[in-house]
């Protein structure tokens, strides 16, 4: 059984997909880019700033999805600027100062939606 979840706290999808699908104890969050929750526009400021905004948006949506950051078990990071991955890592590490980080895959790509520099998808597990 799948439960399709949304959150009014973050910008609604511009394309046809479900932001989060819950199946049993698992939650799969579709790839997120760094959209400003107030305007829905992609933020500026580089890869690190976009990574931080993605996590800020994730934290806004998690109560509606029924998961907590401590339940994050896997993340996939896509970036068009792999040469600046240190900026992404710096923002990433700031998220996990009190919570163990999840498994992670990082992939360099040619383009992302809306011209984003970073997109991250997440998988959660609730015991």
CATH of the domain at 42: 3.30.1330.40
| Predicted local distance difference test score (pLDDT) of residue 12 | 86
Torsion-angle region of residue 40: left (phi > 0), alpha (psi -120 to 50) or beta?
A: left
Q: Among 12-16, 46-50, 61-65, 109-113, where is mean pLDDT lowest?
A: 12-16
- DSSP result, 64-125: HHT--GGGEEEEEEEES-GGGHHHHHHHHHHHTSSS---EEEEEE-S--GGG-SEEEEEEEE
Kindly list the distances between the CA atom of residue 122 and the CA atoms of 10, 26, 38, 83, 97, in Å, as whole numbers in the listed order: 16, 10, 23, 23, 18
Residues 70 and 36: their CA atoms lie apart, in Å, by 24
Query: How many domains is the chain partitioned into structurally?
Result: 1
Enter the pTM of the model: 0.96
pLDDT at 88 over 90: yes
pLDDT digits (tens, 9 = 90+) for 17-75: 999 999 999 999 999 999 999 999 999 999 999 999 999 999 999 999 999 999 999 99
Residue-number span of the structural domain to which 120 is assigned = 2-125
């Amino acid at each position: 059984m799948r439960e399709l979840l949304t959150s009014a706290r973050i910008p609604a999808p511009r394309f046809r997909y479900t932001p989060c699908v819950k199946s049993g104890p698992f939650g799969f969050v579709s790839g997120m880019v760094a959209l400003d929750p107030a305007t829905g526009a992609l933020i500026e400021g580089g890869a690190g700033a976009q990574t931080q905004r993605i996590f800020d948006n994730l934290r806004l949506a998690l109560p509606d999805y029924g998961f907590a950051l401590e339940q994050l078990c896997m993340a996939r990071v896509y970036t068009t600027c792999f040469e600046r991955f240190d900026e992404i890592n710096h923002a990433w590490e700031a998220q996990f100062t009190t919570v163990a980080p999840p498994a992670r895959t990082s992939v360099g790509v040619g383009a992302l939606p809306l011209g984003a520099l970073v997109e991250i998808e997440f998988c959660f597990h609730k015991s």
